[in-house]
Amino acid sequence: MKGNIDSSAGIDISGLSFSDIRVMTNTFSGKSIGERRNKKFIPRLGVLTKIGDIEVDVWCGLAEELIIRAGEEELLENLILYVKNLPWTHRDSKKEQRVRALQLHTSRIFDNPAWVSFIPFNEKWRPEALIGIDIIEITQSCCQMPGKVTKQQLEHYTDKIFCPHCGILTKYQFTNTALEENKPDAVVQITLDF
């Protein structure tokens, strides 16, 4: 395993890609300084990536630089808004929400059709990302309203799926009865004209 990275000095950002700093897991460590009663524990929050365990503030700086280089600042703002509206993050600090959004951004979650928010997020901010994606209409036992999911989401979960309306994991039925009979041609493909 590679060592700790506590400064961006010496990192060649021009050679860095999103996958290099994609977060595999968060890390927590620290060191004690001082003697006896004056002993203090200095915590270190980090993220484990392909290039090493990067201190979280250093990592944020690197992620932001890559996002600016890609011209994706607006996409990041949209992700921050998305994170802010998640029911389990509204008590998080602004900084925590930003770190979470940066983690989502560097993992390119918006390009992954298995992501639970793939359709609503892209419908709102990046409709072009939905072109060529297989979208299936389902109705769930909780809300009884038609909702859209991707084929990859259905493959990821078996008989239950997160409801696009209320977010609860419940059983679903295909709205199009042809799909219940296993006819894959009932899958809809989105086409958009620009």
**Of residues 142, 151, 157, 176, which one binds Zn ion by CB under 5 A?**
142
Nearest approach, Cβ of 169 to Zn ion (angstroms)?
A: 9
Site string for Zn ion, 166-185 (x = CB under 5 A): x-------------------
Residue with Cβ nearer Zn ion (142 or 190):
142
Among 2, 69, 108, 165, interactor with Zn ion by CB under 5 A: 165
Question: Can residue 139 be called a binding residue for Zn ion (CB under 5 A)?
Answer: no
Binding range to Zn ion, per CB under 5 A, among 100-108, 110-118, 122-130, 165-173: 165-173
- Smallest distance from Zn ion to CB 56, Å: 35
Closer residue to Zn ion (CB): 33 or 166 = 166
* 163 binds Zn ion, rule: CB under 5 A: yes
Count of residues that bind Zn ion according to CB under 5 A: 5
* Region binding Zn ion by CB under 5 A among candidate stretches 70-78, 129-137, 155-163, 184-192: 155-163
The reply on whether position 143 binds Zn ion by CB under 5 A is yes
Contact 69, 59 (CB under 8 A): no
User: What is the rounded distance in angstroms from the CA atom of residue 85 to the CA atom of residue 122?
Assistant: 16
Secondary structure (DSSP) of the chain: ---EE--STT--GGG--GGGG--SEEEEEEEEESSGGG-EEEEEEEEEETTEEEEHHHHHHHHHHHHHHTT-HHHHHHHHHHHHTSTTTTTS-HHHHHHHHHHHHHTTGGG-TTSTTHHHHHHHH-GGGGTT-EEEEEEETTT-SEEEEEHHHHHHSSSEEE-TTT--EEEEEESSHHHHTT-GGG-EE-----
Decide: is 81 part of the binding site for Zn ion (CB under 5 A). no
List of residues contacting Zn ion (CB under 5 A) = 142-143, 163, 165-166
